[in-house]
Chains A and B, each alone.
Chain A
């Protein structure tokens, strides 16, 4: 019904517009083509100028309005160390391109307006000017060089792999249709080997249980990381391409079947700190970011405020099929103490699911020497507790 109405409206509007077109054409015939053209030049030159002003105003106002979603500013500040270098290059680029944008758009529409066609006026014969060409080749080239050098400097630092001698935490994210499967190395600090042919319902990552490094690996449902520690994420995919994307940390890397990739980053803000920042009040005691003070559930004003419920998120950023848009995991950045506390509650996947079953190569014997401490049976690895600091 609405479709029908819309169609009818559209047809009516079209007919009206065609009639307008016809009328103006008729008027043109009466008044003479040149006269009409000159008037039209004047009118549309004026529209150009108006458009230019409104357009630039709209870009500036909307940029101001959406400043909170821009990199670096307010709520969208990077929560990782390398992120700020990247955000600053973004802003330098924004400055230069913004300048060029404003100048060129103004000149374009201003010239169109200024040099609108008038009877009796002659256009300049000005086919070229090599000096100008050189100037506007060299200046962009210099600006580009400046941006490239800054960009590559940051890029090579951000993308550098860890040095084997330094201290870092290695974790693993595996994309599959349609979720992320997470793995931590356990107390030995090493991820065990995998073979995709071993994947099964009980062995989602195809871990090789004859590799002792696997026996202490655990599979949490959220990423927990201590603030200020370097993290190397090993990124893999089980079926098709995915992309390990942590928007707040400026981390993004494809997960490729058959080819593990990695990304190294250091979280610099804890979840609690980030929440506090989102909920901050200004000097007048008003929220700095009112949108974060709305209730999570719009129909229930009593529900927690958005900033209180905020969490860092892991998403997928490479089209992987119909469930691509919902591969969410929560990321929690905590203090070192909370992190240790959380670690101590995790149970190795081997212990919880494999041990003693037909998949267990050590079913008949005692498991080989491993640093795994056995955990109380109640500790459910799938639901990490929100922890209070214990120290």
Chain B
């Protein structure tokens, strides 16, 4: 159970830091705190990593709500295609077409725009920026014992490029021709030719622009995270003493740095094909009554470039969640994470392998089938470190004294989701099976469970766990737990049935299913999924209410270390100012997972080893 401090007069941490800490003369340099002197530098153009983290989080939440609302609209179309949608006309305007009988229906091109925006927003804005941006910024300096990021200024720019990117994407929603509608993967020629689809005109231009700015944001952030982790660890914080959150965020940043530039190159080439008449991805096209001049390009080349980012990207999304979950599971089972080193090696293995599996998204794209052999092998190898992680999480619970909180529940839920979704990857990674399953709802089920829902669960676990450190108050636990049970049941209800649709062959990205006898037999299931999605969305509203209510009205944090955790962030004052520690920097004396050692509930990382005590792992 949490140690309850009653009178916060003298903190044991402060004494330890005073005794063993490292004096970097921080306060002699920072008289008057130029960083947080007025409203604008405190809340808007802040250079404090903790504020930037909150900016990423709240912007991410905004996008999550927008993206989820879009999915409800297209789910209504899929579940109830005959239903009257005229009531959405005030919101969607001309994208709802109303017939003579007064029945409104969603225009197919707007259905595709919604699907595309939903994917882009969730993958990039929410699960990349919202997740990494929040927790890398918040936790890296706090957990490695640094005053701030290596470059607070680049860090600030990283947020504002993200903001700009989002702004451009948002504007594209209001274009007369609609936002881009060719899928979040934006395969040319569909994405390259304005004649091919109304969203491929101005919509695509803004989409490309937005994502280029987004990549700038990721790179600025990534360079900063890597530099900070490599250079600003406090005394004693060797790599092997870093919490798994930091390891995960570290590898995530490296993946981003190596793969996002490739995406930009693909985007630049698409821009050239669109604007300058080049033919990187276009060849022998007859469209709109006209034969185009482009010859010699290859649409498959774009797919290689895209998935060279795209596959690492899915790990960029899941690794931070894995890190958060490892930490939360360990803290709340009051036990060291099981197999710390195996966890680190599997993160590294996953990170490395994620660069050599990209073409498993392209088994049926016309690449030489022989090449697919290699990608099948590497893809299925990735399942091994993934499995190791799952077994280690389960073993962490074994023999624990598990404290059920909203955070730990979401961490357990994460493991459940990761198992369910990871296992379906084994079907898809085997190219022979992928012949049938590619581009069906089976894939939709796979990646929503393993990436979408699981990453959200990791994020929720992180938010519930670190909210007190972020805002000095707790989120309401009861509401958090209701949120958890509603979400795990709802999410499985939404995505589990999609496996059956996929096995029956129903393709993804269909505006309606009744044009085919083979795909049109699942009306009841589609209605069920839509209703489940609406209910699940309702539970997220609960979360949002809880979040904002708690920022101002939540139960106050009275002790510094409410969860009884070992890591450095809990040695800071209740509301840490700029520089995180008021006096000396803490130094690290042991690894991050001394829970239950030698009969002690937990031993903070700043506590020196006893005489003759051996370090944990």
Where the two chains meet, the residues of A that have a C-beta atom closer than 8 Å to any C-beta of B are: 1-3, 10, 13-14, 17-18, 20-22, 24-25, 33-34, 37-38, 40-41, 43-45, 47-48, 51, 55, 58-59, 62-63, 66, 69-71, 76, 83, 85-86, 89-90, 93-94, 96-97, 100-101, 104-105, 107-109, 111-112, 115-119, 121-129, 132-133, 136-137, 140-141, 144, 147-148, 151-152, 154-156, 158-159, 176-177, 196-197, 199, 206, 238-241, 243, 245, 247-248, 250-254, 256-259, 261, 291, 306, 309-311, 313, 315-326, 328
Contact = CB atoms under 8 A, between A and B. Distances in A.
Interface in B34-88: 87
Contacts of B489: 51
A66 B497 CA distance: 9
Contacts of A22: 476
Nearest to B542: A17
B339 A86 contact: no
Contacts of B112: 319, 321-322, 324
Given A258-B284, A313-B518, A24 B1 contact: no
Contact of A306 (B369, B431, B517): B517
| 4 A-B pairs with the lowest CB-CB distances in the bound complex, closest first | A258-B283, A124-B399, A247-B505, A69-B504
Interface string B97-129: 000000000001101100000000000000000
A124 B402 contact: no
B445 to A, nearest CB: 12
Nearest to B291: A197
Q: Is the interface of A mostly helix, strand, loop or mixed?
A: helix
Contact of B372 (A17, A155, A241, A253): A155
B11 interface: no
Contacts of A291: 521
Contact of A93 (B1, B401, B426): B426
B270 to A, nearest CB: 13
A196 B433 CA distance: 34
Given A252-B435, A319-B183, A44 B404 contact: yes
Interface of B: 1-2, 4, 87, 108-109, 111-112, 181-183, 187-190, 193, 196-198, 282-287, 291, 295-300, 333-342, 364-366, 369-370, 372-373, 376-377, 380-381, 383-384, 387-388, 390-395, 397-404, 409, 412, 415-416, 419-420, 423-424, 426-427, 430-433, 435-436, 438-440, 476-479, 481-482, 485, 488-489, 492, 496-497, 500-501, 503-505, 507, 509-513, 515-519, 521, 538, 541-542, 545-546, 549, 555, 593, 595-599, 616-617
A209 to B, nearest CB: 17
Contacts of A33: 1-2, 4
A93 B432 CA distance: 12
B517 A309 contact: yes
A97 B426 contact: yes
Contacts of A76: 503-505
B365 to A, nearest CB: 5
A313 to B, nearest CB: 5
Nearest to B500: A66
A240 B189 contact: yes
Contacts, number: 386
Contacts of B283: 257-259
Contacts of B505: 76, 247-248
A116 B402 contact: yes
Given A18-B479, A123-B333, A319-B187, A115 B398 contact: yes
A2 B595 CA distance: 53
A45 B408 CA distance: 11
A227 to B, nearest CB: 19
A69 B595 contact: no
Nearest to A63: B500
B87 A2 contact: yes
A57 to B, nearest CB: 12
Given A18-B476, A66-B504, 6 more contacts: A117-B402, A126-B335, A144-B380, A240-B196, A319-B190, A322-B511
B401 A128 contact: no
Contact of A254 (B338, B365, B397, B497): B365
B115 to A, nearest CB: 9
A272 B190 CA distance: 38
**Which of B384, B593, B597 has the largest number of chain A CB atoms within 10 A?**
B384
A125 B602 CA distance: 10
A130 to B, nearest CB: 8
B512 A325 contact: yes
Nearest to B334: A123
26 contacts: A17-B482, A41-B402, A63-B500, A69-B500, A69-B503, A71-B436, A93-B430, A97-B423, A97-B427, A108-B397, A108-B419, A109-B412, A111-B398, A125-B336, A127-B616, A133-B388, A141-B384, A176-B286, A196-B285, A239-B193, A241-B299, A256-B299, A256-B366, A316-B507, A317-B507, A319-B182
Nearest to A39: B404
